């Protein structure tokens, strides 16, 4: 059965993470994604290793784990868009595509004749999504930007990390490039919405997607605390500003997460812990009380949790319907029975002669499931196929372009 976007072709001029994350989402949904890469070097992340995928002989291939993580399901076309002839080919491809995705600096593509204003003249139905650091307008639009910077500027690091009064306190970034991932997710949602609009009206449009906007939007529930109270949200480490107890606790042999979301769950915890009197204490019986009396309650809970090992607590708390969980490293994540049941590790046959591992999409469709048949492409793997089939270029012309390093 055709997948949701199997009628859509995407010209992907993006690289690194935010744009490729978006185009991989579109590929998972069935879109044909033509990944345009620089001849000879390709996407920057191809060289962002080690680690690299290992071939049958155990030696490293040229495929970095970073590149593999966000480029499945795509076709690699090498094309030098700094060359006028390469620009002409890119425009010809855009005329045959539904979507163009790019993450060049503001003003970077008009000089190549590849701006939205240029392409809409030859393809009025095109959906053109630009992903930039700060967006297309404003006093910072010209500035380059990186995830780390945006996590700081956008407020995320002001609420991430241990409290200043605690050991190791201070601002901390999230362990993945979350701003890029967020921007990629928003971009893929915006593109699919624009496709739906075009299917009703026949009209394409331009999408201005900024990483800075994305990370600010990500903080909405904390920002609303600020908007409604006037108080600037602070760092709580592994604790929660509006829920108590909701943090990491040391046990007799490790750590676990206790995430008590309501008064009934707190009463259940107290019963499992053998301390039912805590649930009857007027200071702790309700969530507002526990929040106001956090400083008194948490040290008591810390002493209680240290009495038993993690495995014992997890089994007893789960039996008592108290939300809790371990703190897994990624090895342990993929040993979890639920992860294995859901099939979150996928292996796709790769031209290196070994399976290429990938992480399954969380999108589960009853009628049009995501397929995992096309591995991340080798550099330029599909150049001749795409330019021959879409633009009708023959072998002689392709040989000439290759000799001139245009493809």
Which residue in 98, 180, 281, 395 is the catalytic one? 180
CA distance 51 to 37: 21
What is the residue whose two structure tokens read 């001139």? 404
CA distance 350 to 354: 6
Backbone angles phi, psi at 161, to 5 degrees: 115, 165
Q: Which residues contact 17 (CB under 8 A, 6 or more apart)?
A: 45, 70, 147, 177, 180, 181, 184
CA distance 227 to 155: 14
| Calculated CA dihedral for residues 204, 210, 211, 213, nearest 10 degrees | -120
β pairing state of 99-102 and 205-210: unpaired
Beta-bridge partners for 205: 127
Nearest to 99 by CA among 3, 26, 24: 26
Catalytic residue list contains 44: no
Angle at 382 between CA 379 and CA 386, to 5 degrees: 140
Assigned token pair, 2: 């055709």
What is the residue whose two structure tokens read 């345009």? 36
What DSSP state is assigned to residue 112? Answer: G
CA distance 336 to 132: 37
CA distance 301 to 336: 27
Side-chain-side CA neighbours of residue 276 (13 Å): 1
Nearest to 12 by CA among 119, 87, 93: 93
The residues annotated as belonging to the active site are 180
């Amino acid at each position: 059965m055709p997948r949701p976007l199997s009628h859509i072709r995407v010209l992907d001029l993006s690289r690194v993470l935010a744009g490729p994350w978006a185009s991989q989402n579109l590929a998972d949904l069935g879109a044909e994604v033509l990944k345009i890469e620089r001849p000879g070097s390709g996407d920057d992340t191809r060289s962002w290793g080690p680690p690299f995928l290992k071939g049958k002989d155990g030696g490293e291939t040229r495929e970095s784990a970073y590149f593999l993580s966000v480029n499945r399901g795509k076709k690699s076309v090498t094309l030098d868009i700094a060359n006028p002839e390469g620009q002409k080919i890119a425009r010809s491809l855009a005329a045959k595509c539904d979507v163009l995705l790019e993450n060049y600096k503001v003003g970077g593509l008009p000089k190549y004749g590849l701006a939205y204003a240029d392409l809409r003249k030859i393809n009025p139905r095109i959906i053109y999504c630009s992903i930039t650091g700060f967006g297309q307008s404003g006093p910072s639009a010209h500035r380059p930007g990186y995830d780390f910077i945006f996590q700081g500027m956008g407020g995320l690091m002001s609420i991430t990390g241990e409290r200043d009064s605690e050991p190791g306190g201070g601002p901390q970034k999230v362990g993945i490039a979350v701003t890029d991932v967020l921007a990629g997710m928003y971009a893929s949602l915006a593109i699919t919405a624009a496709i739906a609009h075009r299917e009703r009206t026949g009209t394409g449009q331009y999408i201005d997607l900024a990483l800075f906007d994305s990370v600010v939007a990500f903080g909405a529930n904390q920002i609303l605390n600020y908007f409604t109270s006037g108080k600037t949200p602070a760092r709580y480490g592994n604790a929660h500003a509006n829920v108590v107890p909701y943090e990491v606790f040391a046990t007799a042999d490790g750590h676990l997460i206790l995430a008590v979301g309501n008064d009934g769950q707190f009463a259940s915890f107290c019963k499992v812990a053998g301390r039912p009197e805590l649930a009857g204490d007027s200071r702790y019986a309700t969530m507002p009380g526990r929040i106001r009396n956090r400083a008194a309650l948490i040290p008591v809970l810390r002493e209680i949790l240290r009495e038993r090992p993690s495995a014992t607590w997890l089994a007893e708390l789960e039996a008592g319907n108290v939300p809790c969980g371990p703190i897994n490293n990624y090895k342990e994540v993929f040993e979890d029975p639920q992860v294995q049941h859901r099939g979150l590790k996928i292996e796709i046959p790769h031209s290196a002669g070994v399976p290429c591992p990938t992480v399954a999409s969380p999108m589960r469709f009853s009628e049009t499931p995501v397929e995992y048949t096309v591995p991340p492409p080798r550099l330029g793997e599909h150049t001749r196929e795409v330019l021959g089939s879409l633009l009708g270029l023959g072998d002689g012309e392709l040989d000439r372009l290759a000799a001139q390093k245009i493809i």
